[in-house]
Structure 1
Amino acid sequence: MSSCSTSKNITYFKDVPDTVKLREITQAAYYTPVIQVDDILQVNIQTLDPAASALLNQQGGSSWPVNGSGPATPAAAGVTGYLVDKDGNVVLPVIGKIPVKGKTTDVVRDEITAKAAQYYRDPVVTVRFSNFKITVLGEVAKPSTYIMPNEKVTLLDAIGVAGDLTIYGKRENVLLIRDKEGKKEFVRFNLNESNLFTSPYFYLRQGDVVYVEPAKSKVANTDMAQVKRISIIASALSLLIVLVSRVNF
């Protein structure tokens, strides 16, 4: 009986009626994430001179290992890019040192473009995170650390890349853990309610951890399996003792 789950416990957004044709919710505002110390940035500078572009984009020597796998990074592979040092800077070939901590990738792109324009004509610059990683743990199909392909990542995106919750996942109490200025923030989500779209934490930031608790039925099943194994072992030992005693007799 403890292993059974009703549909009301596993359905997302059950507060939206089945008969509704249109329902609008004002979604939380999206804030572009800022660059932090130890982030890894992928910087690409293209110029009219192919040789100059090759020189500016020499990032092969800076490869940093990443645990887990994701849609953009295979397992056991490294992430290539420029590491943001403890002072919040990256050092680019020819361009030199660029302060990036606390800035968005768009701002850094414009600053690098202005620097590159001092040496090259009409440079085209792109800047993105190479290590925008999200960790999903607990009752999901594929718990791991994932490198996301873009910066605009939602809670549902993280759950999706992890293969969705298992049948034992506690949908009404999903936990988000976030580092913020040396402190930990803990936020709870209820996937059964549509108002999670209005939460300011709906959009994730690099380094966020999503944890899905197991339901009581999973714990009960685990305990039951342990009791069953112990009973089997005890029965086997009892049988062995009986056989040994008869042989000795």
Structure 2
Amino acid sequence: MNKNLLQRLSFAIVLILSFFLITSCSSVKNVKYFRDIPDSTLSTSIGRAEYVEPVIQTDDILTIVVQTLDPNATSLINMGNVPVSATGTSTVNTGILSVGQQVVSGYLVDKEGDVELPILGKVQVVGLTTSKAKTLIEAKAGEFYKSPSVTVRYANFKISVAGEVARPSTYIIPNEKVTILDALTMAGDLTIFGKRDNVLLIRQNEDGTKTAYRINLNKSNIMTAPYYYLRQNDFIYVEPGKAKAAANDANQLRTYTIIGSALSVLIIIASRL
């Protein structure tokens, strides 16, 4: 075979494979959050989302503590926060939990919407916020104790984050006022491949139906949206972008490039024999 032809062939192989390798590595776009906030401004005014307290649903687990001047008087009620499996493992020292083997203490809201408290009996709490449930239980406890103080909070306020995030998991949060940005931060933020302009939020309604929202993290108006504050059992899914597929293709093309380069070397060596 003509040496010049072999050299041209080897050069063409390297050139073609290099072209595909370069074009497959797409540049990362839309990585930055809130692109509509100018970099040059010192401050930007952003509206406020309306916070609506979540309501208690069946199968929720509530931590209920009743306090009086005599701590021993209500010890039976407070000890009644029965440990219930909530599948969580502590991830940070803030009390936020992710899926694992955590057991939390609390009163389970039964299918009738009641919690059954020692001494106080059954109390209907389904459909109430924790603040209204506190008032109701305080009134009930007032029948047995003098000036009782009641605390009611969720023991299993959980949200799930899946897809292109660093730590996909189900998180149990000790604070019911949590935002979508909080959830993404707990999950370690989006990976470089996550689509920031089309995050999916699936929310369970009180009647059992679900509502899906599409969220654009490139826009600051999400901080005024009705879905900015999360609710119990919200599910967040971050879709992979085109860069993920391009990265997979790039890995394959690197292999082909190495093989092609090796063939080119062999052709050059053969042309000189």
TM-score per shorter chain, which class?
0.7 to 0.9
**For each residue in 1:192-245, what CA deviation from the matched residue of structure 2 results, as whole angstroms up to 9, or x when unmatched?**
11111121111110000011011111123234546778999xxxxxxxxxxxxx
> In the aligned structure 2, how far is the partner of 1:165 from the partner of 1:178?
20
1:214 aligns with 2:235: no
2:113 pairs with 54, 69, 88, which one?
88
Q: How many equivalent residue pairs?
A: 232
1:57 aligns with 2:78: yes
TM-score, normalising length from structure 1? 0.86
- Residue 5 of structure 1: aligned partner: 27
Structure 2: tracts of 5 or more residues without a match = 1-21, 259-273
* Letter aligned with residue 44 of structure 2: R
SS at match of 1:97: strand
**For each residue in 1:111-130, what CA deviation from the matched residue of structure 2 results, as whole angstroms up to 9, or x when unmatched?**
11111111111211100001
Question: Given that residues 129 and 151 in structure 1 are in contact (C-alpha distance below 8 angstroms), is that contact kept between their aligned partners in structure 2?
Answer: yes
> In the aligned structure 2, how far is the partner of 1:231 from the partner of 1:79?
54
- Residue 182 of structure 2: aligned partner: 157
Question: Given that residues 34 and 219 in structure 2 are in contact (C-alpha distance below 8 angstroms), is that contact kept between their aligned partners in structure 1?
Answer: yes
Question: 1:29 Cα deviation (Å)?
Answer: 0.6
Percent sequence identity is 52
Point out which structure has higher relative CO (alpha carbons under 8 A, 6+ apart). 2
1:17 aligns with 2:42: no
SS at match of 1:9: coil
Q: How does 1:120-199 map to 2 (within 5 A)?
A: 120-180=145-205, 181-199=207-225
Structure 1: tracts of 5 or more residues without a match = 233-249
Question: Given that residues 169 and 213 in structure 1 are in contact (C-alpha distance below 8 angstroms), is that contact kept between their aligned partners in structure 2?
Answer: yes
* Letter aligned with residue 32 of structure 2: T
RMSD of aligned Cα (Å):
2.3
Question: Given that residues 82 and 107 in structure 2 are in contact (C-alpha distance below 8 angstroms), is that contact kept between their aligned partners in structure 1?
Answer: no
